[in-house]
Structure 1
Amino acid sequence: MADLKLRVCSLFQVIGRLSSTNRPKRTIGMTSLVCLVIANMIGAGVYTTSGYSLQALGTPTRVLAMWAVAAVIAIAGAICYGGLSRQLVRSGGEYLFLSRAVHPLAGFMAGWISLLAGFTGAIAFAATTFVNYLPEQLGADEPREKIMAAVGLIALAALLHLFQTGPGTIGQNILVGIKLLAIVGFIAIGIAAVELPAAVEATDAAAAAGPSFSTYANQLMWISFSFAGFNASIYVAGEARLGKQTVRRSMLFAAVGVSVIYLLLNTVFLFTAPLSEIVGRGDLAAVVGDYLGGETLGMAVQLLVALSLATSVSAMLQAGPRVYVKMAEDGMLPRWFIPSDGVPRTAILLQAYLATLLVCAATVQDLLDYTSFLLSVSAASTVLCLLLPRFRGQPGQRPTIMWPVLPAVFGLMTLGIAIVGCLYRYQQSPTSLMLSLAVVGSGIGVYWFRPDRVGPR
């Protein structure tokens, strides 16, 4: 009898331990996943990049062609990430797949890049650009005021996600819906004003000789940065309802929809205002808004861009910390990153703090270069995991369509564009490459000298 009581007590202890584990609740549905991806994708890049690309490539047609190529690459990437998520539906992003398919060091480096560049750099870039699009009436003109406004945005976005996941997600969904309606309205106004055949003929007639291949590669890397959030669902896959279906579908639906929006937006940006007014401009959307509808529409566009950037910062502060939680569970980061109730508060605060430091320390140009290169390398390496035994499936049950061609082409193209673009930018300014090398070097050092060297599980 005593032995039976002891066994019963032991059974209840085991059940108690299992029930107290911090397994994430699957509370994020399909709509919220799509909104998360859209919020991650539609950020600073689409409103700033084409002015710089026009200066480098010479004609709007060339720039729009690069956006079309980047859209195809992003959709292919969404399909490939969907193939990965079908086989392992857990939060963790690139860290999770690389650590399982290649080596814990490869996964750690992907997570480290997410911590210091993929999310931190992207948040800082979005927050800095947000300030540049605030209407003049708000008075953020001085450098100190701009930094304070960017830091304030990061702090507010962090507060939105510091409590329960549900309220923050609902608020984000509402803001994304408003943003999409406003973007569609702006596109409708712009398309109505565009006389596309005449505009294309006029701009192409004045075109200079085509730029070098490395220039195209560099611009494609920049433009691809605007699509970088197409894989956002994988970072919260462990909290997604019906994860195998919703995670991969949300990435594909959002990637296709955002690609259409980007092509239409850039048609408006590049073929309405005179080229002399938009070449090399980082506030391209505001300039075009002023040209189409005067000061009123210009201010409305500024507010639209600011809203887009604010939701982008919020979405990245929701997705990124889930990677660091998974790394902590595997012993790759300190265990105090693991939340007691499923909300990664420590990771959110660290992400916000690092983004704040970067806002204060780097220029927009350096942030874009440094973040684009590291993100491209990480994404290419992750998709190439589909060619390795752990994730390539079985004959007749391959993870993606056109396997192995699709993942191989995506991985090699993305990696090649990143390398060529980085070498081109190094000739112009070595700062971004130095930052990238510093991230990689520090990551290797932290991996080998971390105190708790436990293998992934």
Structure 2
Amino acid sequence: MSAPSHQIGWKTAVAIVVSSMIGTGIFTTLGFQLVDITNTYSIFLLWIIGGMLALFGAFCYAELGSHFKGNGGDYLYLKETYHPILGYLVSWVSLIIGFSSPVALAALAMSKYLSVFDYTFGTGFSIAIIILVSMSLSFSLKSSSKFHNFFTFIKVAFVIVLIILGVVLSGPETGNSLSFGEGWQKEMMLPAFATSLVFVTYSYTGWNSASYIAGEIKDVQKNLPKSLIIGTVFVTVCYVLINYIMLKHASLDQLVGKEDVMDKAANNMLGLSFGKVVNIFIALQLVATISGYLWVGSRLTQAFAKENHLWKTLSVNNKKGIPVRAIFAHTVIAILIILTGTFKEIFVYTAFLLQLFASLSVSTVFFLKKKDRKIFKSDLFYIFPTVFLLFSIYILYFTFIHNPRESVIGLGIVAFGIVLYLIDKRLSKPES
């Protein structure tokens, strides 16, 4: 029996994973890391650890997605394993932060990278891009897939070409940021190494994206793990190489504390004219990032809205089965985030909350019985969630210590979600 025509294959699922991961983080965070961490081995190690954690998390989500099936991801895992309040909170955080903030950050990064041209691309441009992408995802699953796959192809092709050029071309005569000394052992012990992991783990956000739309994937037990693992490994290799070429083609003075780090490297590597072309492609590939987060986020929000009184209106599909109201809810929230916060502030509290709830979700695999596991039958499987959770605790602790204001903002959002849960529960009583 053939799969329903509305389902997507593993290639589109991989495209969603790759497009959700490669985006704002890799092209904006190196400058923040270089404030305290300058040894190249340390930088590589940060990104390898991030990739390892993403891969271990992907193994866990592959099991969870194959077991629970259906759309919803974290919402399903936490609601079914622990308590409905955690499912509610992760959905609330996903609506307000998890999927809307990356959309806002990607749109802001687009404006930043296009600012090399004479015309100033400000917040108005960022907002317009989000609205246009939202509209493109609102017609049908087929048109959404074509749109998303097209921009993901641009993303992947651009990244591969950029890496090849960066590796082959020689660095600038004025110097670079490569430093292969022995200081990396000392840098690993610094609190700054842990806080740098916050930026890195955010850059890997999206490794779990295909699990949210498990209900739309053909042969989910085979294709979900395939998409998560292929996507995560591909992105990890790309991230290490992209960092290498940015360090190779720009000096520390050009990179430290800057957001548009690839702009500096590209100008040195290709000259000002071709450097501007690179900026255009960075902006174009961020369209796929925005598309991926709006697509996946709207499905999680829809699954959440169907079961909660306050949010019922967001569960409505259009005639083609697209959750248009959920898509535009994320659109509106992303626009509000753009209008109310700075890039780095949004970045830190988003990374903090996403790491917190990813950890809670990964912990649910400990409640899967061996007979329920579809992919990993050996008990060695528990190495993956254990390592993931230990690193998460390490990251969350240092994030809170060194960024207390942003962490408290994040926890305040969670606290407000608890209030909404209690109100929602009370409003739902008469219907039972």
| TM-score between both structures, scaled by the size of structure 2 | 0.91
* Separation of aligned partners in 1, 2:194 and 2:336: 30
2:46 is aligned to 66
Deviation digits for residues 159-211 of structure 1 (CA, Å, limit 9, x no counterpart): 0111112101111101111221111111111111358xx97885638999637
* Separation of aligned partners in 2, 1:336 and 1:299: 43
User: Measured at CA, do residues 72 and 218 of structure 1 come closer, stay the same or move farther in structure 2, by a change above 3 Å?
Assistant: same
2:166 is aligned to 190
Q: How does 1:317-396 map to 2 (within 5 A)?
A: 317-331=294-308, 333-340=310-317, 341=319, 342-388=321-367, 391-394=368-371
Question: Aligned match of 2:418 in 438, 444, 447?
Answer: 444
Q: How does 1:9-158 map to 2 (within 5 A)?
A: 26-137=6-117, 139-140=119-120, 146-158=122-134
User: Measured at CA, do residues 333 and 343 of structure 1 come closer, stay the same or move farther in structure 2, by a change above 3 Å?
Assistant: farther
Q: How does 1:386-425 map to 2 (within 5 A)?
A: 386-388=365-367, 391-394=368-371, 399=376, 402-425=380-403
* Separation of aligned partners in 1, 2:352 and 2:373: 35
CA contact (8 A) 1:43 1:312 kept: yes
1:434 is aligned to 408
Deviation digits for residues 60-106 of structure 1 (CA, Å, limit 9, x no counterpart): 32112111111111111111111111111111011110000111001
Cα drift, residue 251 of structure 1: 0.6
Stretches of structure 2 that go unaligned for 5 or more consecutive residues are none
Alignment identity in percent? 25
2:251 is aligned to 274
Bigger CA drift: 323-332 or 75-84? 323-332
Stretches of structure 1 that go unaligned for 5 or more consecutive residues are 1-23
CA contact (8 A) 2:6 2:142 kept: no
SS in 2 for 1:404: helix
Cα drift, residue 416 of structure 1: 2.7
Q: How does 1:158-177 map to 2 (within 5 A)?
A: 158-177=134-153
* Separation of aligned partners in 1, 2:159 and 2:248: 17
CA contact (8 A) 1:384 1:411 kept: yes
Bigger CA drift: 199-208 or 283-292? 199-208
Cα drift, residue 138 of structure 1: 5.7
SS in 1 for 2:231: helix
* Separation of aligned partners in 2, 1:137 and 1:346: 35
Bigger CA drift: 64-73 or 414-423? 414-423
CA contact (8 A) 1:317 1:351 kept: yes
Deviation digits for residues 322-355 of structure 1 (CA, Å, limit 9, x no counterpart): 1111112223643222224421111111110011
* Separation of aligned partners in 2, 1:219 and 1:72: 15
Amino acid at match of 1:60: T
Cα drift, residue 399 of structure 1: 4.6
* Separation of aligned partners in 1, 2:412 and 2:182: 45
| TM-score between both structures, scaled by the size of structure 1 | 0.86
Bigger CA drift: 221-230 or 50-59? 50-59
* Separation of aligned partners in 2, 1:138 and 1:240: 44
User: Measured at CA, do residues 37 and 201 of structure 1 come closer, stay the same or move farther in structure 2, by a change above 3 Å?
Assistant: closer
Greater C-alpha radius of gyration: 1
Deviation digits for residues 381-436 of structure 1 (CA, Å, limit 9, x no counterpart): 10110112xx233399775662222112212322331222222122xxx1x12321
After superposition, the CA RMSD in angstroms is 2.3
User: Measured at CA, do residues 411 and 208 of structure 1 come closer, stay the same or move farther in structure 2, by a change above 3 Å?
Assistant: closer
